[in-house]
Structure 1
Amino acid sequence: MPQYLQRNNISNIITARPWKLANLIMSDSLTRLFEISGVTNYTTLAENVITVLAEKDGISKNDQQCKNIDFIEIIEAQSLGNLIKVPAVCVQLVHQFYVGRLVEGSRCSVYMNMLDMHIAKGLQKLQIENFDTEEMCVNEIKQIIGTESTEYLRDNRSLVHSASALAFKTLTDTNKESSLVFAENTITNHMTKTKLEYLLQTGIITKKKSFALSSRKNVPYMFLHKTIQEFLASLYIAMNQPDIENILNTIQSVYCDYRSILDIGQLFIFTCGMCAPAAERISKHITDVITCVLDF
């Protein structure tokens, strides 16, 4: 954030898992402790991000203020207020707005743009034209992501397919902890190490830094945000219609009681936008589980 950039004598820690820091042992040499809190005002976060982007482009303060107002108006008009309250997603939405890509109001289009921009960023970092080294003949991918505004997704279908397979398999892991944070061998069950490196370059998957002597051992990986993992998992459902029965059986076995069924909401919403028949089956399953709980 701009107000922090002027201070060179402090370290800023930004985390999506503050509870992990709460368990760390504090050093005896520390003289001050600070309470860690989440983002309390998402509009301030959005304004700060717009300021950083605008200052790089030499945009005046007055125009920055106009952009802030326009951004909030678009968020309200497209009913994206619940998404902006998630800090990681808020930053992504600001970037889409700033480059003129926040034009469609559906969640699926927002996340399509999000992934497309991440792939473009990875290609730019590596200075290559595309990630794919193999041909994919999956018509469902073309139908779902075949828009002009998502050309990088469309041109890297093999990478997207591997990422979606990983997202679905990890999200439906019965171990809740390993469904969000997973080891490298879990990833390489669904893609090559080359594809993993590509996804790390895009930022779609992140890797925790290790300070152990054996830095490659048990290094945890995770998706940029759980909603991106859920979106990719829904994309996997939509792309694999021939195997839909096995996919739905897996979902029903994992989300089978009143506790777990509460976690299926975002996956269900994304599936509604990409595969109506599968969403209808998931809806029926949700109803059955809730009815069973109420009857009990």
Structure 2
Amino acid sequence: MSLDALDCNERLCLRVSLSCLARHLAKFTCIYVRDCQIIITDLRRRLVDHYNDTTSNVPLSVLDQSLDKRITDIYETPKIHRIEITKDGKRVKKEQVLTYKELFYTDDRKPNRRVYVQGEPGSGKSTFAAKLVHNWCDGNRPSTAAPNDHSSFDDLLIIQNFQFMFFIALRESRGSTDVTHMIKKQLIDTLYSDEKREAMYKLVLKIIDTELCLVVRDGLDEWMAPDGSNLLEPSMAGFPNDKCTVLTTSRPWKLADERIKNSQIDILVEIEGINDPYTFCERVLRCILDESKNPKLTALEIRCFMSYRKLTSLSYSPMLYTLFICTWTDTLEEEDPWNGFSLCALYTTLLESLCKKANDITGFFNDLNPPQVKCFSSSKYLRPIIQKVDVISKAAFHLLFSPEKEKSIVFKDHELSNYLTQSEQEFALKAGLLSKRKTKKAFNSSISFVHKSIQEFLAAYHIASNAHLIDYVISGYLRHHAYRDALLELSQVFIFLCGLNVSAANKLSVIMNEHCIKRMGGLYESRTFQDITLAGYREAIANAQTGILLRLSHFEIDEINVMEMYNIWRENKSNVMHLGIIVNHETYRDIHCSPTQCEPISQVEFDLSSCHKLIYLELKGSGIQIQGKI
């Protein structure tokens, strides 16, 4: 029946019915929209609470995940640079990135939908991602957000423009291929009871399709595709490019894979550590020191010690620096760290921290299976993978002392394959001992140890177990390279070796001293070699080594080193060729034993009657008394 056939009453009734239906539909729609908004608001609140309980707390130590602190207590602004991918594929470090706007937008307008943040192990990638999440949460809390006390990345409105943020720890979803499934498993299944999960998952899919979202994929290098899959990274299927921004953190070796196309990267940045190590040190100390100690003074003491022991480069890596600070404070409880701090113990802890990332199975050395070096005896993650550590250490040694100097620190895949199998390379990359970076040339990558000092520690460990290499390899290395360069290149290996195997270090010091005598160019070289020998002596003492017989022919003794140099001199009376002593009686009480403890040095007697090779003698200062004839 057509509308024209209806009489007036019927038409009026129909209009009234349609009007009522429209009102009911409008009311129902309002209720539905209101209910949806309530559910969406509740989801956002739950996400904020979840992130506040998880990502807003970060562990101080990789070895002890239970020792965690609020990110706001220890966070320090990272040093981030944009990496330009040129037309020929080369990656060039450019300007420093200081704001979220620079990270998420190009030319202030064009959004960067695919953001990649790369960095070496311990550089602060995950902490930066966690702080990003924390900043988003601050804008979605009912109360007023806490003020941001960091000068960089303080443009929080850029982050709060995202209606939703989904943080995914990729290591927790190994074998899963879709980010939507990861969101369900890591977030929805955690936030909701079983009967609500399916409905909430559908709602999240709708939100992803309609709202401006940020997905943070943390740790691409820790994710594994399922067997038989050729995926290099999880699928973002279902995420519209115009609505969703994806920030991915990874180590450089993962992004060096040719399957990641340059066109798939809107912006690539690299975290190189922290901007202000001194402030970071204070923050960490405030979290671990008791109230009786002054964090500012302790931070200053640590900075002086690191400068004194030439360890300043460690302070720019949050992981290395935190390990150092914690090791320092542990030593502080037992003895004066200026005298008892062991570099070998520090690097053993670092080695464990890295290897745990690739294999977290525990195992202990014991009387039936003793370690080759004493500092490994208390470790709990090295015993199960000690064979891998051995072969990686062998590679570290042979590459470091390669006849081709340009290949000693940075090398190629085929050069590394001379020492490591493919599975051993993968272990070293996953652990973070090795770093791989993409180069301009196809099918080739630049590889290096994550930090030169780690390569030197592993090389020293290999020498400690294979002392014959001192004669067969290192002696030739010293002969064929400029003395000063070779001495400096060898110095840190020698210091580590003194703590690992002083017998081998004694042997190496004889060869180094011989080259020092033959090729020395002046006072600078002799003092440099003495400083290296003194540092080695201190490391041997810190590791309770006995039979310390380090060879030295040229001595420059002053108030600061008089006691330690005297101990070295006692074992070198028949070798001494040059002896200079400069001390003043009135400065004895000012001698730096440690910033917190100074005691006057007792009288020291240098008996020169056995110094048959002595050529040069210099005595200066009011603190010297001469007995006998000269």
The alignment's TM-score, normalised by the length of structure 2, stands at: 0.34
1:146 is matched with which residue: 341, 352, 376? 376
Provide the secondary structure at the position in 2 that maps to 1:151: coil
Alignment partners' CA distance in 2, 1:121 and 1:66: 34
How much identity, in percent, do the aligned residues show? 24
Alignment partners' CA distance in 2, 1:121 and 1:71: 29
Quick check: 1:261–1:289 contact (8 Å CA) kept in 2?
no
- Structure 1 residue 2 and structure 2 residue 72: aligned? no
Quick check: 1:50–1:94 contact (8 Å CA) kept in 2?
no
Quick check: 2:409–2:449 contact (8 Å CA) kept in 1?
yes
- Structure 1 residue 184 and structure 2 residue 410: aligned? no
Deviation at 1:8, TM superposition (A): 1.9
Alignment partners' CA distance in 2, 1:158 and 1:218: 27
Alignment partners' CA distance in 1, 2:438 and 2:315: 19
Provide the secondary structure at the position in 2 that maps to 1:206: strand
1:113 — aligned with what? 349
- Structure 1 residue 203 and structure 2 residue 432: aligned? yes
2:399 — aligned with what? 170
Residue 276 and residue 89 in structure 1: after superposition, are their counterparts in 2 closer, same or farther (change >3 A)? farther
Provide the secondary structure at the position in 1 that maps to 2:382: helix
Quick check: 2:372–2:465 contact (8 Å CA) kept in 1?
no
Output the amino acid matched with 1:129: I
Output the amino acid matched with 2:417: T
Deviation at 1:160, TM superposition (A): 0.8
Alignment partners' CA distance in 2, 1:94 and 1:160: 23
Bigger relative CO (Cα 8 Å, ≥ 6 apart) = 1
Residue 276 and residue 94 in structure 1: after superposition, are their counterparts in 2 closer, same or farther (change >3 A)? same
Deviation at 1:108, TM superposition (A): 0.8
Output the amino acid matched with 2:346: V
- Structure 1 residue 251 and structure 2 residue 474: aligned? yes
Output the amino acid matched with 2:353: M
Task: Give per-residue Cα distances to partners, 1:222-268, cap 9 Å, x unaligned.
Answer: 0111111111000001122xxx3244320010122423233211111
- Structure 1 residue 279 and structure 2 residue 513: aligned? no
Deviation at 1:74, TM superposition (A): 5.1
Deviation at 1:95, TM superposition (A): 2.2
Deviation at 1:106, TM superposition (A): 0.8
- Structure 1 residue 85 and structure 2 residue 160: aligned? no
Quick check: 2:355–2:431 contact (8 Å CA) kept in 1?
yes
Residue 49 and residue 199 in structure 1: after superposition, are their counterparts in 2 closer, same or farther (change >3 A)? farther
Quick check: 1:142–1:154 contact (8 Å CA) kept in 2?
no
Task: Give per-residue Cα distances to partners, 1:162-214, cap 9 Å, x unaligned.
Answer: 110011000110111100001112222222111111111111110012455x3
Q: Which has the larger radius of gyration?
A: 2
Residue 120 and residue 145 in structure 1: after superposition, are their counterparts in 2 closer, same or farther (change >3 A)? same
Deviation at 1:43, TM superposition (A): 9.5
RMSD value, Cα: 3.9
Alignment partners' CA distance in 2, 1:156 and 1:50: 35
Deviation at 1:139, TM superposition (A): 6.2
1:157 is matched with which residue: 386, 408, 413? 386
Alignment partners' CA distance in 2, 1:109 and 1:89: 20
Task: Give per-residue Cα distances to partners, 1:72-95, cap 9 Å, x unaligned.
Answer: 44565xx44334411467534422
Is there any run of 5+ residues in structure 2 with no aligned partner, and where? 1-75, 80-96, 104-116, 121-271, 332-340, 363-367, 523-630
Quick check: 2:411–2:448 contact (8 Å CA) kept in 1?
yes
Q: Bigger shift: 162-171 or 80-89?
A: 80-89
Residue 50 and residue 13 in structure 1: after superposition, are their counterparts in 2 closer, same or farther (change >3 A)? farther
When you count helix as a share of all residues, which structure comes out higher?
Answer: 1
The alignment's TM-score, normalised by the length of structure 1, stands at: 0.68
Residue 90 and residue 219 in structure 1: after superposition, are their counterparts in 2 closer, same or farther (change >3 A)? closer
Provide the secondary structure at the position in 2 that maps to 1:286: helix
Alignment partners' CA distance in 2, 1:263 and 1:177: 13
Task: Give per-residue Cα distances to partners, 1:21-80, cap 9 Å, x unaligned.
Answer: xxxxxxxxxxxxxxxxx99xx9932434775x89xxxx7xxx9x965654544565xx44
Alignment partners' CA distance in 2, 1:201 and 1:157: 16
Residue 186 and residue 67 in structure 1: after superposition, are their counterparts in 2 closer, same or farther (change >3 A)? farther
Residue 73 and residue 122 in structure 1: after superposition, are their counterparts in 2 closer, same or farther (change >3 A)? farther
Alignment partners' CA distance in 1, 2:396 and 2:279: 32
Quick check: 2:395–2:419 contact (8 Å CA) kept in 1?
yes
Provide the secondary structure at the position in 1 that maps to 2:483: coil
1:47 is matched with which residue: 279, 293, 298? 279
Output the amino acid matched with 2:413: E
Deviation at 1:3, TM superposition (A): 6.8
